[in-house]
Amino acid sequence: MARRVYLPLALTLCFSAVVIAALWIGGVSVRSGVVSAFDDSANVRTARIRVGDALREQLDEETGVRGYAAVREKILLEPYDEARLTLPLSLQRIGVSLRQLQMTDASQALADAAATSRRWLAVIAVPLISSRTPQRDVQLRGKRLVDRFRSDMNAVEELLAARADRAAQRAQESVLWISLFAACAVLAIILAAAVFAVVQFRLADRLERERARSEEERRAAAEVRAAYETERRIAETLQAGFAQNVLPRLARVRFSATYVPAAEETNIGGDWYDALELSRERVLLAMGDVTGHGIEAAVAMNQTRHLLVACALLDSSPTHVLARVNAELCRSGAPLITALAGVVDVRNFRFAYAAAGHPPPVLWEPGRPARLLDVGSLPLGIVPEAQYQTHVVESVPGALIVLYTDGAVEHSRNVVEGESLLLAAVEAAGQAPSGEAGMIYERIFAGRRIADDVAILTIRFAHENSRSQERAA
């Protein structure tokens, strides 16, 4: 969730950082170009003014010397004297400007002009001023030097003019670049803002959808939980009916029972057991397991229990009981049910039972290993005409008979291994004075979680010495 929220924000910030960096670099570059273009323009302008000054000063020198040579009036030499001092300074300043502008050609032309000026002073101006007679040849040579000087200076001026044009063009381009850059900056800012707005909108939309989905899932989970709780309560209530069973208490036989529901509440199934005292010597025992779990299994369990007891009251023969119950369950469309019905007769240590798809009882007799008794016939609720056979176990005093549901032997998914564990547990419980059912359960599961319900019901016939004591009493 945090990644979904912060990733778009981080991407937007990164994009903004890149845009800002690009704008900054572009701004610096454009500013540098503009400053350079305007600096060039200023330098060129200054240099051209100085070129004009130099030409004017050179003209002052020439006209002063020519005037003096013609009329020999000292006053006419004043422009010459002044220009003779300022012209070299002007040429020097022009040279500085040209070097700053890195104009090599113009610097060379300027150097030629400066040399020509110095030569004119030496070979033309000084002889003409000092001579008392007109010197026509000197004046002609002087004119040629002056023409050369002006030609060099004009060359400098032309180069400066060309440079001025280029500087103006660069300045113009710089202005265009500034405009373009400003437009790009505005577009980038608009784009960044748009991206940020879109990201924010999508993020908000996604968060809203996730919140709605989460709320929907929470509501659905609550509904499922409520339905499950309801079913669990009903199933537990129905199961509590037999959990409160009170086992018959007879003189020559003792019963013990345990029922442990599945560790997973959703797996609470339809296991049950019943013990009904038919007379002081005979007890009906029933045990069963309804296929499936939850309320349906619990309802079927209660229906079968009541059917079984009702049928047993009419005729307690196990064969008869199971056949009647099976016919009724097939008629009502009940799920598959395994069951065992048996009658204990304490007078002769006999146990007669019939099984319908149910695991076989275990018999332990003192001094003998525990053994599995015969298995039965088809489960209840499938084949209306199914036949059930009554098996009779003639036991001995002190014997232990154990009835159980499949959870006691199928916990490892290997029923052969489960039977071995069960037989060992029964043999251990055979030595115990009481609490056999709980002991067998503990011996098999030893604190392990169980995946299915487990019901265990034991029948312990009294020992001979107990019977003797009873008879004596």
**Binding-site ranges for another protein (CB under 8 A):** 289, 291-292, 335-336, 338, 355-360, 375-379, 382-383, 406, 410, 413-417, 419
Between 184 and 415, CB nearer to another protein: 415
H or E element at residue 353: strand 350-356
Between 304 and 338, CB nearer to another protein: 338
Between 61 and 289, CB nearer to another protein: 289
Between 157 and 289, CB nearer to another protein: 289
CB of 338 to another protein, least distance (A): 7
Nearest to 114 by CA among 89, 77, 139: 89
CA 5 to chain centre: 11
DSSP class of residue 463 equals P
At residue 57, what is the residue type? E
CB of 468 to another protein, least distance (A): 40
CB of 449 to another protein, least distance (A): 17
Between 114 and 356, CB nearer to another protein: 356
CA separation (Å) from 215 to 3, 203, 210? 20, 18, 8
At residue 18, what is the residue type? V
Residue 369: both structure tokens together: 């290993």
CB of 355 to another protein, least distance (A): 7
Nearest to 264 by CA among 454, 453, 442: 453
CB of 223 to another protein, least distance (A): 24
Residue listed under structure tokens 């097939």: 330
CB of 378 to another protein, least distance (A): 4
Between 1 and 416, CB nearer to another protein: 416
Note whether 3 and 201 are within 8 A (CB). no
CB of 383 to another protein, least distance (A): 6
H or E element at residue 403: strand 400-404
At residue 362, what is the residue type? V
Note whether 256 and 433 are within 8 A (CB). no
Between 418 and 430, CB nearer to another protein: 418
Between 247 and 356, CB nearer to another protein: 356
CB of 276 to another protein, least distance (A): 24
Q: Compute the Cα dihedral for 152, 158, 164, 169 and give only its sign.
A: negative
Q: What gap in Å lies between CA 240 and CA 232, rounded to an integer? A: 12
Residue 214: both structure tokens together: 């989460």
Phi/psi of residue 289, nearest 5 degrees: -150, 120
Residue 2: both structure tokens together: 């945090």
